[in-house]
Amino acid sequence: MRARGSGEAAPRRRDAAVKAAPQQRTDAAVKAAPQQRTDAAVKAAPQQRTDAAVKAALDGVRARCAVEERRARDPVSFVHRYTDPADQELVALIAASLAFGNVKALHAKIGEALDRLGPEIALTADDARAVSARLRGFRHRIYRDRDLVGLIVGARRVQRASGSLGAAFAAELSRTGDLRQALGAWVRAIRRAGGLDRRPDDRGAAHILPDPEKGSAAKRLMLLLRWMIRPADGVDLGLWPVPPSALLIPVDTHIEKLGYNIGLTDRRGATWKTAEEITAALRGFDPADPVKYDFALCHLGMLQQCPSRRDPVRCQGCGVKPVCRHWDE
């Protein structure tokens, strides 16, 4: 009977608890809510303010960029001289592949290569012997004529086999679902078709179309993809059937330094991981087109010669100075 009595008392305690709980929860919520909201606001506000300030700075840099003037000094300017998509693809590959080193020198060498090949690049590239004859004696830094010949002939063969270089890349991306793997497969196809893979110990042959799966930021390849994939806006051409959301920002010394200075990444060095981190941060501002800031930012970096510390002279007038870690004091 004692056990039964204890059992009968329990429901009354539960009833009391059930009746009391809603009011207790409500009272607790009313008392706690303001503090919880305040704590959440305090925690969120700095990041929200920082993100808003960075986006405003980036949008300002992009809006103020003298696009036509800067495009004339950019390797993409060569692509805009052509109207046939097949020519544009090949010219873009040549220009991006030669785009390293001194700006004046690389522009001269891109121009020289294109002048040698003539106005109809794709038609010329159908004849490997003609390409070799036209480029005989060509040199640019570590590249020799046979490196550029292999690049052009291989690209043209892949272009003809797939209908376009863009179609070949899009097929690899659809197959793998991964940008890096797709780009690696696309690169290997061109290298095989042009015979570059038959010279594995040749530095020029290896560098002119590098393997993106080795860990570097693959800046020149990312530059090519940006030109070909981003919507036509006076700089990029929007020729390839790939969404801009798939892109990674081309990371050179300017973008690496700017990305670090404004907190888009804490990494140092032009690596694939750095490109991923900077792009992930930019995706928070525009998920559909994260690398739209690249052209303006890169040219800002070149103009400002962005330093790694506070420099009142070199930082004067910089559009991202308000959100730069060196001035955030």
Buried b (16+ CB within 10 A) or exposed e, 288-299: ebbbbbbbbbbb
What pLDDT is recorded for position 137? 98
User: pLDDT band at residue 77, thresholds of 50, 70 and 90?
Assistant: very high
Select the more confidently predicted residue: 41 or 228. 228
Lookup: tokens for 136: 């005989």
- Entry field: residues in the chain: 329
Average pLDDT across the chain, whole number: 86
* DSSP symbol at 214: G
What pLDDT is recorded for position 329? 59
Residue 90's closest CA among 115, 129, 116, 125? 125
What pLDDT is recorded for position 16? 38
What pLDDT is recorded for position 35? 40
Quick: pLDDT tens for 124-176: 999 999 999 999 999 999 999 999 999 999 999 999 999 999 999 999 999 99
What gap in Å lies between CA 36 and CA 42, rounded to an integer? Answer: 10
What gap in Å lies between CA 208 and CA 220, rounded to an integer? Answer: 9
Block residue for tokens 């052509």: 82
Q: If residue 29 lies in a helix (H) or strand (E), which one and from where to where?
A: helix 2-64
Share of the chain above pLDDT 70, in %: 84
Threshold 0.75, pTM exceeds: yes
What gap in Å lies between CA 263 and CA 280, rounded to an integer? Answer: 12
Q: List all residues 6 or more positions away from 250 whose beta carbon is below 8 Å from its beta carbon.
A: 217, 219, 220, 222, 223, 226, 275, 291, 294, 298
Write the DSSP string, 137-197.
Answer: T-EETTEEHHHHHHHHHHHHHHHHHHSSHHHHHHHHHHHH--HHHHHHHHHHHHHHHHTGG
The answer to whether 267 touches 260, Cβ cutoff 8 Å, is yes
* DSSP symbol at 84: S
How does strand 139-140 pair with strand 143-144?
A: antiparallel
Instruction: Tell me the residue ranges of DSSP E strands in 192-289.
Output: none
